[in-house]
Structure 1
Amino acid sequence: MTTPLHGQMMDVPLAVSSLLAHASRYFGTTEIVSKRVEGDVHRYTYRDCERRAKQLAQALIALGVEAGDRIGTLAWNGYRHLETYYGTTGFGAVCHTINPRLFPEQIAYIVNHADDSYVLFDLTFAPLVDMLAPQCPNVRGWIAMTDEAHRPRMSTDASCYEALLTEMDGQFDWPLIDERSASNLCYTSGTTGNPKGALYSHRSTVLHALGASLPDAMGLSARDSVLPVVPMFHVNAWGIPHGAPLTGAKLVFPGKDLDGKSLYELMEAERVTCSAGVPTVWLGLLNYVREAGVRFSSLERTIIGGSACPPAMLRMFKDDYGVEAIHGWGMTEMSPLGTLARLNWEQMQRSPDKQRRLLEKQGHVIYGVDMKIVGDGGRELPWDGVAFGDLHVRGPWVIDRYFRHDTSPLVDGWFATGDVATIDRDGFMRITDRSKDLIKSGCEWISSIDIENVAVAHPAVAEAACIACAHPKWTERPLLVVVKRPDSDVTQDELRGFYEGKVAKWWIPDDVVFVDELPHTATGKLHKLKLREQFGDYILPSARKVQNCPLTDEVTAGSGSTPVPE
């Protein structure tokens, strides 16, 4: 057997710390601007950020944190959160970003399942930490991400972030790390039952940052001022905290204020050229600029993902404000980027209508992702824009298995996304449905099964089914359809009140409808398809309240239901 001829190149590991080290060395004076929870605006540079990230690494090591230990965060987008991204992974620990919007019991489950050694938190979440601490006995310490002057009064014994850093000198060299070792941990709530963890490696994270920064992906550049509205607890803010240092882009963090006015004023003040977030956020921003009669002076493009973007939003950004709106798709299991809707040279020569139809889809894969659609028996389906099947993906930043799960979810080496899609001859993918009965409210998932389980626990409920109804602001909201027990009675308000304390408030169904019976399949399962057909024209009371929204008709029409009247 012939011995392969190996290349004679340096074997330098792809470490997350190299991204910040690069930014510090070659873009050291580039700004990182943050609206702080404390109420002011903080400014410093990449060079400052690396020094403080090294101080954090020293502080954690002094606390006994070792390589492989998980460090949780409950924090908004800001400079201290960015320091945590690198101050943990830089010496081999794992940065575990936690979604604070989940129900406290879910958060406690995630912290315990991850076995977090320490959890760092913003001031906003001090009351939440007081609730979590008794449920998380293995957490060795809680660290408030503030200074002594703003240290919150809590029942939990919490350390002060700035005090810990002050004790360290920052004279620290990032160690060489095996690029296949774990770097970041994110849990997905896009599943029934308990959340599942996606454990990324240094190699996958750096490759994802490179792929996300390509010109036909996010196109990040040292000429950009980037504002990630997508939270850093949402799949690493789609890779922007890694891609911006890689390219030397200026970073602008919005903190907790994500309303249209706050975002617009920050964009204008910091000359933001690129942003990224979910449709709900952009709806608020567009409504603000329209009502205030203002325009964007610097914004060039925005990436829209997390849920399907209504075509009217894409058009409004482009036609009314000259901003390129880039439709994207991905998953926690994919780190998360998979596709982005950007045209090539040939496609740009087509008519405006044909271009628009392409841009309304979820888009074309970026290098590093391969995808296919399969039908019955795993048969691969043609890319004709008509055939639809289960969407499967693979690539160096796609998970092989979930954290602490023995079995792999892969099918012949491919990850089944749970989405149903078409792919056209141009390679543009369009999501047509979801194979699971999950409800996506804004950028968050709601489990219909969990909603149903709470309902049937009520003594007056015999059977219940939860389905998604179109909503002009949130894209989807839950509708609960209920069969009462004989000789029992319960009102809509009583049943909705029954959810208090059992699920997150935003999980509570918007409306309850009582019926005599629910449709079932031949095997006795709830027939959700028939139920959705039955209530396809149903308009939620909360949807009726949305007024003066020019996107209303198309948001709802885009979701496959009857448009909500203004």
Structure 2
Amino acid sequence: MMDVPLTVPTILERVRTLYRDREVVSLLMAGRDQGGAPVAQVHRTTYGEVARRALHLASALKELGVRPGDRVATLAVNSYRHLEAYLGIPSMGAVLHTVNIRLHPDQTQWILNHAEDRVLIVENLFAAMIPSIRANCPKLEHIIVMGAGGPEGTLDYETLLAQASGDFEYPDLDERQAAAMCYTSGTTGNPKGVLYSHRSTVLHSLASAPKDALNVGERDVVMAIVPMFHVNAWGLPYTCAVAGAAQVFCGMFSDGVSVARMLEQEKVSITAGVPTIWMGLLAELDRAREAGQPYDLSRLESLVVGGSAAPEALIRAFQTRHGLTLRHAWGMTETHPIGTVSVMPPGVSLTSDEGYALQAKQGRRVPLVELELLSDLTDDGRVETLPHDGHTMGRLLARGPWVASSYYKGEGQANFIELSGKLWFDTGDIATLDERGYMHIQDRSKDLIKSGGEWISSVDLENALMAHPAVAQAAVIAIADPKWDERPLAVLVLRPGQQHPGHAELTAFLAPRFAKWWLPDAYEVVQSIPIGATGKFLKRELRDQFAGYTASGTAAR
């Protein structure tokens, strides 16, 4: 067989030649109204134009002195310009480093310095950050601003592309060299960098497109609401480019109304986001239906949910009230990210109780990914693999051709372990695997509650609580207990106009589904639950807030 390198330029050439007329739509900010609210404007272009401009970006970076292996960072929203960076930066041999726009400025600067980025491409929406970045990131040589209004000393993105040579020639790239880079969310300690190779990027794109994965083809219109700074928008910009699917980007407009309008207007068939996005969308769809003005989402085949588990109640609500399918996918920064996708096996109805139960799991592994469950240390200091029976919980391990084998600069090596002669990544998730291969995340290892020597899954309790009609959001954390070591405390945000249902009602609501010792000792209502930059609950902050709490209500906060 021919030894043909798997590189990002093969993706760029595919969209440039085969799919040049497929549309790329972006919802951009066009200013603010008199009340200060952002005003959106739709921008339309094609893959052919995106590819042309991506090659001009590659030429421009080369003319600025960027060399193969150099890191080029982006601080940008989802848009056609960010897609140009996705295609152009790796194609000239540099490393696309997408930086989370929601981080604290100090953490942003720490990441830019740790990655040793030489160039930063920043959206003009974040221009206020530039002076501080310039003062505290000495290795940054150039700052390029997307959109008008860049401060003095920066380069204008459009001018740079207009002046660049159109005769760019691809360098001879090794498929194993880095194409892109993302940092973990850093919920414990400093974030860690993960480098994605050209090979892993192409393989991930091929494996995530098929019918029993994300089911992306040329006839699809895909709107990735998951940010392009978050694990390459789950790889969707590349997957869509490989498959020829049109792409829609909603930029900074991810509220329920904006999302619903774009889904209808652009006839989107596949969309992807975290549970909080879908909760907002469901509320808008319900409101519109009750007002007698329902949205026409007849082209929408699936809403992919990841980042954290979606409650079964949310999955049922979309299906029963609006005929829409919410599909779980699971992955991490270290897995590029797709590891599993929830699809129905033959003979199981999507709307049966069994079907809903399977949809609430994170799904089966996509081809080339392996999963395993590992025990904690035994009394004699060993670890054991655990049965795939759907009940036994263990540490979830993953391996595959797009799973990291180390972190940037060799940090965090304790997360990578050898088992039976194979290298595995310890995800930090606690999960079960059943006989059919369905994986179900029970918790993060640091969030699992150990009461009387037995494990309690906070995720299962949270998802059950969010099915209660009075509860909008629920987070379950461990509180110290002198007898049982730890007990669960449920922290709730109520739906508008709802009153606290009370301990007895909530306990009775949960009791049919859980053992008595699983049930929370208390239910506290708060105005909001802190949410991190990737849309997940920040349970660390909740644990700090409720440190010293006892079920009798005598809290040391």
Secondary structure of the structure 2 residue equivalent to 1:422: strand
Q: Equivalents in 2 of 1:101, 1:351: separation in Å?
A: 37
For 1:267 and 1:225, how far apart are their aligned partners in 2? 9
Give secondary structure in 1 for the equivalent of 2:372.
strand
1:314 and 2:315 equivalent? yes
The alignment-based identity, stated in percent, is 41
8 Å contact kept, 1:280–1:473: no
| CA distance in structure 2 between the partners assigned to 1:530 and 1:291 by the alignment | 45
Range that drifts further, 120-129 or 102-111: 120-129
Letter of the structure 1 residue corresponding to residue 363 of structure 2: G
Alignment partner of 1:275 out of 268, 271, 278 = 271
- State whether residues 303 and 325 of structure 2, in contact with CA within 8 Å, keep that contact through their aligned partners in structure 1: yes
Deviations 1:144-171 (A, max 9, x none): 112xxx224x4x6221100100102422
Match of 2:427 among 417, 438, 455: 417
Residues in 1 aligned to 2:242 and 2:172: alpha-carbon distance in whole angstroms: 18
Structure 1 CA distance for aligned equivalents of residues 106 and 406 of structure 2: 24
Q: 1: CA distance between counterparts of 2:54 and 2:27? A: 19
Matches of 1:83 and 1:477 in 2, distance apart? Answer: 41
Does the Cα contact within 8 Å between 1:69 and 1:117 map onto a contact in 2? yes
What is the rounded CA distance, in whole Å, between the counterparts of 2:477 and 2:253 in structure 1?
26
The 5-angstrom pairing of residues 496-535 of structure 1 reads 530-533=485-488
Q: Deviation of residue 406 (structure 1)?
A: 5.6
SS in 1 for 2:223: strand
How far apart are residue 82 of structure 1 and its match?
0.4
**Equivalent runs, 1:393-472 vs 2, <5 Å:** 393-405=398-410, 408=413, 409-412=415-418, 413-437=423-447
Q: Summarize the alignment of residues 34-53 of structure 1 with structure 2, pairs less than 5 Å apart.
A: 34-38=26-30, 39-53=40-54
Question: 1:237 maps to what in 2?
Answer: 233
Equivalence for 2:372: 372
**Unmatched tracts of structure 1, length 5 or more:** 1-8, 440-469, 482-517, 522-528
Single out whichever of 353-362 and 72-81 deviates more from structure 2.
Answer: 353-362
Q: 2:395 aligns with which of 364, 384, 390?
A: 390
Residue 143 to residue 432, structure 1, CA distance change in 2 (3 Å) = same
Aligned to 2:132: 131
Q: 1:124 to 1:176 in 2, by over 3 A?
A: same
Secondary structure of the residue that 1:116 maps to in structure 2?
A: coil
Matching of residues 117-128 of structure 1 within 5 Å: 117-128=118-129
Q: Cα offset for 1:42?
A: 1.3
Q: Which of residues 10, 22, 25 in structure 2 aligns to 1:33?
A: 25
Deviation at 1:37, TM superposition (A): 2.8
Q: What amino acid maps onto 1:151 in structure 2?
A: G
Q: Confirm or deny: 8 A CA contact 1:200 1:335 kept in the other structure.
A: yes
Please list the CA deviations of residues 293-335 of structure 1 after superposition, one character each: whole Å capped at 9, or x if unmatched: 2132321111000001011111122222222211111100000
| 1:418-475 superposed Cα distances (whole Å, 9 cap, x missing partner) | 1111111111011112112499xxxxxxxxxxxxxxxxxxxxxxxxxxxxxx885565
What residue identity is the alignment partner of 2:197? Answer: S
- What code does the residue aligned with 2:360 have? E
* Separation in 2, partners of 1:560, 1:394: 35
Q: What is residue 153 of structure 2 aligned with on the other side? A: 157
Query: Once the two structures are superposed, what CA deviation does each residue of 1:347-372 show, in whole Å capped at 9, x if it has no partner?
Result: 45x98112221111111000121001
1:15 is displaced (CA, Å) by 0.4
Task: Return the alpha-carbon distance in structure 1 between the equivalents of residues 280 and 448 of structure 2.
Answer: 24
CA contact (8 A) 2:395 2:426 kept: yes
Residues 20, 46 of structure 1: 8 Å contact kept: no
- Is 2:87 the partner of 1:86? yes
State the alpha-carbon separation in 2 of the partners of residues 560 and 429 from structure 1.
24
Contact map agreement 1:13 1:176 (CA 8 A) in 2: no
Judge conservation of contact 2:144–2:155 (CA < 8 Å) in 1. yes
Partner of 1:102: 103
For residues 167-196 of structure 1, the C-alpha deviation after alignment (integer angstroms, 9 at most, x for no partner) is: 024222323311000000000014411100
Distance in 2, Cα, partners of 1:141 & 1:221: 38
Are 1:339 and 2:340 an aligned pair? yes
Q: Please, which of 233, 243, 247 is the counterpart of residue 247 of structure 1?
A: 243
- Residues 285 and 98 of structure 1, relative CA distance in 2, 3 Å threshold: same
1:426 and 1:418 map into 2 onto residues whose CA distance is 23
Give the whole-Å Cα distance in 1 for the aligned partners of 2:384 and 2:424: 13
Say yes or no: does 1:212 pair with 2:204.
no
2:319 and 2:77 mapped to 1: Cα distance?
A: 29
Question: Is residue 54 from structure 1 mapped to residue 78 from structure 2 by the alignment?
Answer: no
8 Å Cα contact 1:213/1:247 also seen in 2: yes
**AA paired with 1:424?**
D
Conserved? CA contact 1:91–1:174, under 8 Å: yes
Amino acid at match of 1:382: P
Instruction: State the 1:411 CA deviation.
Output: 1.1
Instruction: Output the amino acid matched with 1:281.
Output: I
Question: 1:361 — aligned with what?
Answer: 361
Corresponding residue for residue 453 of structure 2: none
Contact 1:273–1:298 at 8 Å: present in 2 too? yes
For the Cα contact (< 8 Å) 1:37–1:122, is it kept in 2? Answer: no
Number of aligned positions between the proteins:
472
How far 1:81 moved relative to its partner? 0.4
Within a 5 Å distance, the mapping from 1:484-503 to structure 2 comes to: none
The within-5 A match list for 1:181-192 is: 181-192=177-188
Q: In structure 2, what is the Cα distance between the partners aligned to 1:277 and 1:321?
A: 18
- CA deviation profile, 1:23-70 (whole Å, cap 9, x unmatched): 221111000011123342211111111100000001000110000000
Quick one: distance in 2 between partners of 1:545 and 1:356?
24
What is the aligned partner in structure 2 of residue 226 from structure 1? 222
CA spacing shift, 1:92–1:475, aligned 2, 3 Å: farther
C-alpha distance in 1, partners of 2:102/2:115? 18
**In 2 relative to 1, CA 546–158 (structure 1 residues): closer, same or farther, beyond 3 Å?**
farther
How much has 1:375 moved relative to structure 2?
1.2
Separation of aligned partners in 1, 2:395 and 2:170: 43
324-333 or 232-241: bigger deviation: 324-333
